[in-house]
Amino acid sequence: MSMTAFLGRRLLQLVPTLIFILIVVFVLVRLLPGDPASAVLGDRALDADVERINRELGLDRSLPVQFVAFVKQVFTGNLGNSISMKIPVTQLIADRLPITMLLTFMAAVIAVVMAVPLAFVAALRRDRLEDSAIRGAFQVGLSMPVFYVGLILLTVFGAKLRWFPVGGYGDGFLDHLYHLFLPAVTLALSLSAILMRNLRSAIIGVVDAEYVTFARAKGLRANLILFRHILRNALISTLALFGLSIGTLLGGAVITETVFAVPGAGRLMVDSIYGRDYPVVQGLTIALAVLVSVTFLLTDILQAWLDPRVTK
Amino acid sequence: MTEPILSVRNLTATFGQGASALRAVNEVSFDVMPGEVLGLVGESGSGKSVTLRSLLRLLPVGGHVGGSVSWHGKDIVRMTDAELRAVRGGQISMIFQEPMTALNPVLPVRVQIEENLRAHTQLDRKGRNARAKELMDLVGIPDSARRLDEFPHQFSGGMRQRVMIAIALASDPKLLLADEPTTALDVTIQDQILNLILDLRDELAMSVVLVTHDLGVVAATCDRMAVMYAGRIVEEGDVTQVFAQPRHAYTRGLLGSIPQAGTERSMLLSIDGTPPGLAAIPQGCAFNPRCDFATDICRRTRPHLTGDGHRAACHNSDAVIAAGSPVKKALSHV
């Protein structure tokens, strides 16, 4: 099978995934306790008003009818209006999701930059001082809850040393990067610990592989053996883990955005759930699910490029 | 008299340090003559593969090579990294038992051949490409131009072993170290690969050191053989001599365990017990607990290799010789 065929098949697989996401989102939102009408009108609303709101939102119709309307809307790019903010959900997502994407992306980059070189050192100096120190440090990072790490970083580097802002998002791209740095580090810590441990054992497994001995027997330079023969093979399994972790990372963004007062999609999601803002919760969940699916797709493509056995 | 191209003296391979250090290879000495095929024979754990890898200092982390390995007036054991890189793959090449695990699964065959050429020759891109194709033809892989861009998993077992040989031969080595190159293959493919190695030996005027546990393979391909037991050479000589008249009880036992076609049916001999672990090598002759010929002296002192040309390390050589060879007729199934 060629790369094109692989891509085609992989893209086709997205279709049922997306349909499934739509069904789950639709059902889940309706299973939430409380109803939007009383959220809008308060506890002492008149029955007539509740009925009117429900009619306006289309919530008085049967579930299948609502679902068909819902799917139609999604495919025309219309995710409805926010009940509490009275603006289109697509508008809200366009405003807030990029912040979360940038945060997640920064966290992923920081995690990789920390994990890959240290995994190499730990693997090649296995069971020596360097290895124990690196693994010990990451173990601490892994065992602390995200919000706690966030608070410590915030206190030390934000409030005490004043190197970084204590919250917000800033203006302009560089300012965004500056504001998101601490939250991104917070988010990256546990991921980098997981990646480091995984890559370390992958490298250890590959270093003793016969093809590495064969590469040495060919008289190749140490660097070439390290990057072409060891790293590339070791990365295959770690890459799969990395792709799966992006979903977790997006979930972790909810907590991190709350701690650092970052106005991203995570915060929006929490606020909308409290406010029973169905359309926003629905739209945001769909957007996040699509984002995760696309990440998985990119991971698969990267993996196919690294490992020819995937496509052939 | 011709000079040996490779001279191994008192080779040792040690793993670990201090009191817990284990010696996998002990005081191994042998020569390899130009154009000859030397067989290193023994059971699993006898140290034959470690010996072979020690020649190029290819031990895993924690392994240490001692003694000397003379190659063109230089001692490989004491070479700098740069000198060693020039010898590895350039002058002495190695092929392995399992071509599936010895070829990098994620690189096309072309890359794996060309990286050898890039390391040891001055060829440019075009030259390397032409040479890679030529090598694939040389080892008998049809449709070579197309197959160069395929990955190891797209080749059959026998073809994969041919690919490995092509890679090993890329830079015209003078010595090929082959670590059980046919063990993982079907019998019919085995013969093809062994014949290929022999043909290439003639064509390229190489010497070959062949590690195997299969005495049938030794009989069919080797000029001389060295039998290893518990990290030491216990008998060494011309293949015909050793087969006709083994002088070490262990060699005799090994020869007795080859099934022979075309002769009167006889009991297949087997050697009782298993080879000793490195941490518990018996005192005296390491083989004595499994040996039918063992006497008191075998349990006390370790015998030395004696003899000229055909050497053996056995206190009871005379008794072994008197017992005769269990091989009834010359083995030549290849």
Domain edges within chain B: 6-222, 248-323
Question: What's the mean pLDDT in B225-243?
Answer: 94
Q: How would residue B222 be classed by pLDDT, with cut points 50, 70 and 90?
A: very high
pLDDT at B308 over 60: yes
Is A218's CB within 8 Å of B61's CB? no
Q: How far apart are CA B215 and CA B257, in angstroms?
A: 9
Residue A83 per-residue DSSP state: T
B180: left (phi over 0), alpha (psi -120 to 50) or beta: left
Is A228's CB within 8 Å of B115's CB? yes
Supply φ then ψ for residue B27, to 5 degrees: 45, 50
Is A228's CB within 8 Å of B107's CB? yes
In this complex, the residue of B56, B106, B167 whose CB is nearest that of residue A232 is B106
Instruction: Point out the residues of chain A with pLDDT beneath 70.
Output: 1, 33-36, 38-40, 312
CB contacts of B56 in chain A (<8 Å) are 217
Rounded to the nearest angstrom, the minimum Cα separation between A247 and chain B is: 28
pLDDT at A152: 85
pLDDT at B95 over 90: yes
Nearest CA in chain B to A235: B106
Tokens representing A261 are 């007062």
**Chain B contacts to A (CB-CB under 8 A):** 53, 56, 58, 60-61, 81, 84-90, 93-94, 96, 98, 101-108, 115-116, 119-120, 151, 153-154, 164, 167
CB contacts of B113 in chain A (<8 Å) are none
Point out the least confidently predicted range of A30-44, A154-168, B105-119, B148-162: A30-44
Q: How would residue B91 be classed by pLDDT, with cut points 50, 70 and 90?
A: very high
CATH superfamily, region B6-222: P-loop containing nucleotide triphosphate hydrolases (3.40.50.300)
pLDDT at A141: 76
Rounded to the nearest angstrom, the minimum Cα separation between A137 and chain B is: 25
Classified as helix, coil or strand, A88 is strand
Go through the domains of chain A in sequence order and give each one's CATH number: 3-75 (no CATH), 89-306 (1.10.3720.10)
Spatial contact of A243 and A295, defined as CB atoms under 8 Å apart: yes
B226: left (phi over 0), alpha (psi -120 to 50) or beta: beta
Angle between helical axes of A129-143 and A173-207 (0-180°, round to 10): 130
pLDDT at B180 over 60: yes
pLDDT at B14: 93
Q: How far apart are CA B153 and CA B296, in angstroms?
A: 55
pLDDT at B93: 94
Q: Does A9 touch chain B (CB under 8 A)?
A: no
3-state secondary structure chain B: CCCCCEEEEEEEEEECCHHHCEEEEEEEEEEECCCCEEEEECCCCCCHHHHHHHHCCCCCCCEEEEEEEEECCEEHHHCCHHHHHHHECCCEEEECCCHHHHCCCCCCHHHHHHHHHHHHCCCCHHHHHHHHHHHHHHCCCCCHHHHCCCCHHHCCHHHHHHHHHHHHHCCCCCEEEEECCCCCCCHHHHHHHHHHHHHHHHHHCCEEEEEECCHHHHHHHCCEEEEEECCEEEEEEEHHHHHHCCCCHHHHHHHHCCCCCCCCCCCCCCCCCCCCCHHHCCCCCCCHHHCCCCCHHHHHCCCCCECCCCEECCCCHHHHHHHCCCCCCCCCCC
Interface size A-B, in CB pairs within 8 Å, comes to: 87
CB contacts of B85 in chain A (<8 Å) are 219-221
The pTM score is 0.80
In angstroms, how far apart are the furthest CA atoms of chain B? 67
pLDDT at B334: 41
B256 vs B13: which has the higher pLDDT: B13
Rounded to the nearest angstrom, the minimum Cα separation between A307 and chain B is: 5
pLDDT at B73 over 60: yes
CB contacts of B90 in chain A (<8 Å) are 219
Nearest CA in chain B to A213: B58
Q: Residues 223-282, chain A: which have Cβ within 8 Å of B?
A: 224, 228-229, 232-233, 236
pLDDT at B1: 60
Spatial contact of A176 and A170, defined as CB atoms under 8 Å apart: yes
pLDDT at B333 over 50: no
Question: What's the mean pLDDT in B175-193?
Answer: 87
In this complex, the residue of B85, B96, B120 whose CB is nearest that of residue A214 is B96
pLDDT at B146: 92
